[in-house]
Amino acid sequence: MACEDRIEVEEDGAALAARLAPRLAGATLALAGPGQFFGRTGIERVTLLRVEPGPPEALWEGAVVREEVAALQRALAPVTLPGELDTMHATAWTTAWSVAPSPALVVDREGVVLRALGDGLVWLRDAGALPRDALRGVEATLSADWVERAVVIEVGDGRRVVVACCVEHIVHLDPTYDGLDLLVDAWAPALARALSVGLGLPLTLAPDYR
pLDDT 10s digits, 155-170: 999 999 999 999 988 8
Bridge partner list, 203: 138
Domain that holds residue 174: 111-210
Give the CATH number for residue 68. 3.10.20
User: pLDDT per residue over 33-85, tens digit each?
Assistant: 999 988 889 999 999 999 999 999 999 999 999 999 999 999 999 999 999 99
Task: Tell me the average pLDDT of the chain.
Answer: 93
Of 10-14, 90-94, 153-157, give the lowest mean pLDDT range: 90-94
d(CA 60, CA 46): 8
Helix (H) / strand (E) containing 19: helix 13-20
My answer on whether 124 and 35 are in the same domain is no
- pTM assigned to the model: 0.92
My answer on whether 122 and 205 are in the same domain is yes
Residue 3 has pLDDT above 80, yes or no: no
CB 210 within 8 A of CB 182: no
d(CA 9, CA 27): 26
My answer on whether 128 and 68 are in the same domain is no
My answer on whether 144 and 202 are in the same domain is yes
| Of 183 and 33, more confident | 33
d(CA 94, CA 135): 25
My answer on whether 169 and 206 are in the same domain is yes
Residue 5 has pLDDT above 60, yes or no: no
Residue 193 has pLDDT above 80, yes or no: yes
My answer on whether 1 and 89 are in the same domain is yes
Taking only Cα atoms into account, the Rg of the chain, rounded to an integer number of angstroms, comes to 17
My answer on whether 9 and 57 are in the same domain is yes
d(CA 86, CA 97): 9
My answer on whether 129 and 208 are in the same domain is yes
Q: How many CB atoms lie within 10 A of CB 5?
A: 8
My answer on whether 119 and 201 are in the same domain is yes
Q: Percentage of the chain surpassing pLDDT 70? A: 97
